[in-house]
A and B are shown apart, each in its own frame.
Chain A
Amino acid sequence: MAQVVGEAGGRTRAARLRLSAAFWRRPWLRAGSLLVPPAGAYILVYVAALAVLFVSAFWTLNTFTGTIEHTWNLDNFRTLWNDHTYWRIAGRTIGLAAAVTFTDILLAFPLAYFMARLAGPRLRTVMFVMVLLPLWSSYLARIYSWRLILSSDGALNWWLSKLGLPDQHLAYTNWAVWIVFSYIWLPFMILPIYAALERIPPSYVEASADLGARGRTTFRRVILPLALPGVVAGSIFTFSLTLGDYITPILVGNTQFIGNVIYRNVLGLSYNLPFAAAYATVPLAVMAIYLILARRAGAFEAL
C-alpha cells in the first residue's frame, strides 16, 4: 500500500500518524486545541464587546459635540431611576414578555405533544415542515401582514362582520403587539418542547401504566416533568426575543418597549450609547435571573 502511495505520501502519512499519536497521548492538548478557537473567539469578540458596552453605561454623551466622554458617573442610572416613564416601559415589556411566553406555551404544547407522540412519521414530517417554513419567510413581511389583518378595514373585521360580530380596533394597540409577538416566536417554542417530548422513551409510559397510573396521572407525573426542560428552553427564547425586539412595536404597536428605548438612543434620536447601555442592564438582569432559574430546571440539556 505504501508503495502505491509513494515515498512522499508515505512520509506525510507517517508525520500525520505521529502528530495524531502526540495529540492522543496528551488529552489536554486535544481539549485545548478544540477549545481555544471557539472560546477565544467568543471571549475576544463577544464578551469583550459586552464588557465595553456595560462599562460605557457609566459614561455620558456630550450633547453639543456628540462625543462620548469617559468620565465615570451614575447620571444615566439616576435618570432611569427617577423618571417613571422608564419604569413604566420596563414593566410593560417584562409583563408582555411573560404574557407572550404563557400564550406560546399554551399554543405550542398540545401541538408538540401531538407531533411527538401521536402523529405518524409522515404526518410528523409534514407538520414539521409546516412549522419550520414560516421561519424561512421574511420576519418583516409576516409582521407587516398582521397590519392587514388587524386594521379597521382589515381581514379580521371583515370576517367578524360576516359572522355578525362587532368590529375590533386592535391595530396599533398593545393587544396587537401581544398577538404578533406570540405569533412570531411560536416556532421557537414548538421546537424545544417537541425535542423534549420526543426524547421520552415509550417504555416510560408503559412502565407508568404497569404501575397502575391512568392517562392523566401518567401525563402529570411522568411526561410533564420530562417535558419541562423543553418548555423552559422555549421560554428563554420567547422571553429574551420579546425583551429586546423593537421592530414589532414600531410596525404594529404605538407604545415604547425596552428595545425601542435602546434603539432610539443608538440609531434613532442620537448616538447616546451610554444611556442605551444603562437601560440595557434591565433586560440583562432579567435574563440573568431567568437563566439561573432555567439552569435549575435543567433547561440547558434541552436546548
Chain B
Amino acid sequence: MRAGRAALALWSLLVVLFLWIPLAIILVYAFNTSNIQSWPIPGFTLRWFRVAWHDPDVRAALLLSLKCALAATGIALVLGTMAAAAVSRFRFFGREALSFLLVLPIALPGVITGIALSSFYSFWGVQFSFWTIVVGHATFCVVIVYNNAVARMRRTSPSLVEASMDLGADALQTFRWVTLPVLSTALVSGALLAFALSFDEVIVTLFTAGAQNTLPIWILGKIRLGQQLPEVNAVVFVVIALTVIPVVISQRLARESGLLK
C-alpha cells in the first residue's frame, strides 16, 4: 500500500510538472533579450516589462478582456442561478432538456458556436461589438455557474426557504439573507472559473469580435508578427502574478466551507 501511495504521489508530481513546464518557459522567456524565441535563452533583460507597460494596445486589450469577462460572468451568475433554482426546486416538463440546452455550448465545439453566432449577427445586421463578444462568452459561462449552483442546491434543504418565509421574510429578503449565503461559495468558485474561461477565450471570440482586440486577440496578433514575443510573455507573467491571489483565496474559501469545488 505504501508503494502504491508513493507511486501515486510520484505520478501526481510528474503530471504537475508536465502542466507547469510550458508555463515556466513563458515566465522565463519574459526576460528574453532576443525578439525571437529560441533555446537556450540568449540573455536576460527587464526591457519587455517596460515596453508592455507603455504600450497602449496592451492596456486597451487588457481592459476590454476584463470588461468582457466581468459582463459575461455577471450574466452567467444571474441566468445560471435562476436556471439552477428552477431545476433543483421544481419538476416541470423539459427539465432535462434545459440542462441539456445549457450544456450544449461546452459540449459542442466552440467553432460551431462561433460560426453560428457570427452568421446570426450578420443576418440581423448586428454590428460586431463588445456585446457580441460578451454574448458569445456568456453561452458557455452560464453552465459553469449553473452546475455549481445545482450541486449546492441539491445538498441544501428547501425547508430553509419555507422557514424564512414563516418567519415573515418576503422573497427578496429570503433570497438575500438565506439563499445567497448558502450558495455563495459555489457561486464564487463557479464565477472564478467562468471569468478565467472568458478572459482567455479566443476560438469563439475570433468569430464574434470586430475590430476590437481582447487580450487573446492581441496576443495572436503579436504571435503572427513573430517579433517582440517577449512582450507577450511579460504580459502573461503579470496576469499570472495578479491572479495567484484570487485563486488561492477562492480555494481556501471552498476548503473552509467543506466543499473543495
Contacts and interface: CB of A to CB of B under 8 A. Distances in A.
Contact between chain A and chain B defined by CB under 8 Å = yes
Interface of A: 13, 16-17, 19-20, 23-24, 27, 30-31, 34-35, 37-39, 41-43, 45-50, 52-53, 56, 107-108, 110-111, 113-115, 118, 121, 124-125, 127-142, 144-149, 151, 153-155, 158, 183, 186-187, 194-195, 198, 215, 236-237, 240-241, 243-247, 251, 258-259, 262-263, 266-267, 273, 276-277, 280, 283-284, 287, 291, 300, 303
Contacts of B211: none
For the complex of A and B, 5 pairs with smallest distance between CB atoms: A244-B109, A49-B120, A20-B171, A49-B116, A20-B170
B26 interface: yes
Nearest to B25: A145
B60 interface: no
Nearest to B7: A110
Contacts of B25: 145, 148-149, 155
Contacts of A50: 104, 112, 116
Most interface-central of A41, A118, A141 (chain B CB within 10 A): A141
Given A110-B11, A153-B39, A241 B110 contact: yes
A35 B83 contact: yes
A198 B200 CA distance: 28
B164 to A, nearest CB: 10
B119 A38 contact: no
Contact of A16 (B98, B165, B171, B252): B171
Contacts of B252: 125
B163 interface: no
Contact of B23 (A137, A237, A247, A267): A137
Contacts of A158: 39-40
Between B4, B89, B111, B216, the greatest number of chain A beta carbons within 10 A of the residue's beta carbon is seen for B111
A31 B170 contact: no
Contact of A244 (B80, B203, B247, B260): B203
A264 B142 CA distance: 29
B16 A31 contact: no
A48 B9 contact: no
A154 B116 CA distance: 39
B145 to A, nearest CB: 11
Contacts of B19: 130-131, 134, 183, 186-187
Interface of A is mostly: helix
Identify which of A47, A52, A130, A153 gathers the most chain B CB atoms within 10 Å of its CB: A130
B142 to A, nearest CB: 7
Interface string B219-253: 11001000001001100100110011001100110
A300 B225 CA distance: 43
18 contacts: A34-B85, A35-B82, A38-B142, A46-B101, A56-B119, A111-B16, A113-B8, A114-B9, A130-B16, A131-B16, A138-B26, A138-B232, A140-B202, A145-B25, A215-B1, A240-B109, A280-B111, A283-B108
A240 B108 contact: yes
B115 A262 contact: yes
A39 B260 contact: no
Contacts of B23: 133-134, 137, 142, 145
B20 interface: yes
B109 to A, nearest CB: 2
Contacts of A127: 12, 16
Nearest to A291: B107
Given A31-B92, A183-B18, A154 B39 contact: yes
A69 to B, nearest CB: 15
Contact of B219 (A24, A140, A198, A287): A140
Given A129-B251, A154-B39, A236-B107, A142 B26 contact: yes
A277 B110 CA distance: 13
Given A47-B101, A138-B236, A148 B8 contact: no
Nearest to A116: B260
B106 interface: yes
